[in-house]
Amino acid sequence: MSDQVKKWYVLKVISGKEAKIQKLIENEVQRNRLSDYVGKILVPTEKVVQIRNNKRVQKDKTLFPGYIYIEANLSGELPHVIKSIPGVMGFLSGVKGGDPMPLSKAEVNRILGKIDEMAMNQDNVHIPYKVGDAVQVNDGPFKGFDGVIEEVNKDRKKVIVMVKFFGRKTPLELGYFQVKKI
């Protein structure tokens, strides 16, 4: 049975419960001995860094809330088993109530490529600035002001820029995206 052709499908689920429903699907597939029909079950996530109580906290964020990707051969009772799992609303299809529509090869490659890219680029952020660089603020209330970078904070992905404001030098803490080199 393992020589069956498996295609990727999109499963609509309750938003915020993707990981729990993924586990339920895996358990149900094992319990009904349908593992020959199911390949991978994916909930694409990315790592997000948040600051809470002055501490850096890394958290997983779902890329496509309310959707799970499943590689399967939807034959026999498998579609009914999956649809009967609590929290599963059904498969995406071309028409309402129609057969599940498989993803194209290009869509699958894009989604899998995005997941691989997220895994590779966790903390490999290139810092384009160094102390002493002349920059221009391109976002926020000081947009258009020129200044010099005084400090680069790699952990927080911020720079401190000294700008002249009313004849005085004023430090601004800005994100990398808020400044550009002159």
Query: May I ask the CATH class of domain 134-181?
Result: mainly beta
pLDDT of residue 54: 66
C-alpha 123/C-alpha 109 separation (Å) is: 23
pLDDT of residue 1: 46
* Segment 68-89, tens digit of pLDDT: 999 999 888 889 999 999 999 9
Give helix then strand counts, H and E, for the chain. 3, 11
Q: Which residue has the higher pLDDT, 116 or 17?
A: 17
pLDDT of residue 99: 82
pLDDT band at 122 (very low <50, low <70, confident <90, very high): low
Least confident of 22-31, 46-55, 155-164: 46-55
Rounded mean pLDDT, 103-132: 72
Query: May I ask the CATH class of domain 7-120?
Result: alpha beta
Cα–Cα distances in angstroms (integers) from residue 34 to residues 26, 41, 70, 71, 121, in the given order: 10, 13, 13, 13, 35
Whether residue 161 contacts residue 135, with contact meaning beta carbons closer than 8 Å, is answered with yes
DSSP state, 97? T
In 28-109, the DSSP E strands lie at: 38-42, 45-52, 55-62, 67-72, 88-91
* Segment 54-69, tens digit of pLDDT: 677 788 888 889 999 9
Rounded mean pLDDT, 49-54: 70
Specify the pTM: 0.59
Q: Delimit the domains of the chain by residue range.
A: 7-120, 134-181
Least confident of 49-53, 104-108, 140-144, 157-161: 49-53
Q: Extract long-range pairs of 29-36: CB within 8 Å, 24+ residues apart.
A: 29/78, 29/81, 32/77, 32/81, 34/76, 34/77, 34/78, 34/81, 36/1, 36/2, 36/4
* Segment 144-171, tens digit of pLDDT: 999 999 999 887 778 999 998 888 999 9
Beta bridge partners of 12: 67, 90
pLDDT of residue 63: 85
